[in-house]
Amino acid sequence: MDELKLRHRAMWALGDYPAVATEIIPELGTTLVKACGVDAGQRVLDVAAGSGNAAVPAALAGARVTASDLTPELLEAGRAAAPVPLEWVEGDAEALPFPDASYDVVMSCVGVMFAPHHRATADELVRVCRPGGTIGLINWTPSGFIGRMFATMKPYAPPPPPGAQPPPLWGDEAHVRSLFGDRVTDVVAERHTVHVDFPDGAAFRDYFKRNYGPTIVTYRHLADRPEDAAALDRALAELGDAGGADWEYLLFTARVRG
């Protein structure tokens, strides 16, 4: 595994992302499973699954589910908490360890958007999905709350590696359509919001400073720059106060062309 992937794996092991998934956005996984039409007996792959926010609802629907993620700590947390059996496999979204055309549904809930090379990731999603199968994604939009949070953190964060693309681009319909091109058909792309309650912007900021890997990494980058850390504190609190209740995402589904 190269240095970039090791850094990504370490970032998502920081804090407590399983808490974020279950406490802040628990309904998104079920929303994605319903949009993909997951049914009993189907072979389903959840890519960049984390602790199983979408994989578990798919398994509860009766599907045969594999949850794959780059970060073993997240898979362990999911395995320990899952109320239903499913397969947990360590894997890179840009080089999935599965055969061609091996799944009926390939999905990801605010997961693959964080793989740095978007085209390689899209290629893998298509490769492992059977012809006529469904690809389903939920990703934060650039103009929505989480997209604006990343824009707020960007001036303070470590510089991205060469060739890495911004995660919120996966929430831009035109970008996602361009990644899949004519390899998919029956595309449905809809913007929705999920309602999130924090008492105020400071509470939002502090929760993400404790639990969310990208935010933790950004603050660690500012360990020797207390003035910048204080400025980021103010900026994130102001962001939360200004519009942190409804977080916009793109729900994208398509069928792999036969």
Residue with tokens 């942190």: 244
* pLDDT tens-digit profile, the chain (258 residues): 688 999 999 999 999 999 999 999 999 999 999 999 999 999 999 999 999 999 999 999 999 999 999 999 999 999 999 999 999 999 999 999 999 999 999 999 999 999 999 999 999 999 999 999 999 999 999 999 999 999 999 999 999 888 899 999 999 999 999 999 999 999 999 999 999 999 999 999 999 999 999 999 999 999 999 999 999 999 999 999 997 789 999 999 999 998
Q: Are 172 and 227 in contact (CB under 8 A)?
A: no
Tokens of 242: 């200004």
CATH placement of domain 3-141+165-195+247-256: 3.40.50.150
Q: Per-domain residue ranges for the chain?
A: 3-141+165-195+247-256
Q: Are 228 and 222 in contact (CB under 8 A)?
A: yes
Q: Are 250 and 141 in contact (CB under 8 A)?
A: yes
- Hey, what amino acid is at 203? A
Phi, psi of 245 (to 5 degrees): -90, -35
Tokens of 16: 């407590």
- Cα 85 to Cα 15, 34, 67, 144, 254: the distances in Å are 26, 19, 11, 34, 27
d(CA 218, CA 203): 18
pLDDT number for residue 1? 66
Nearest to 73 by CA among 106, 44, 47, 49: 49
SS3 86: coil
Nearest to 45 by CA among 94, 79, 1, 88: 88
Q: Are 32 and 111 in contact (CB under 8 A)?
A: no
Q: What is the pTM of this model?
A: 0.96
DSSP state of 7: H
Q: Are 109 and 51 in contact (CB under 8 A)?
A: no
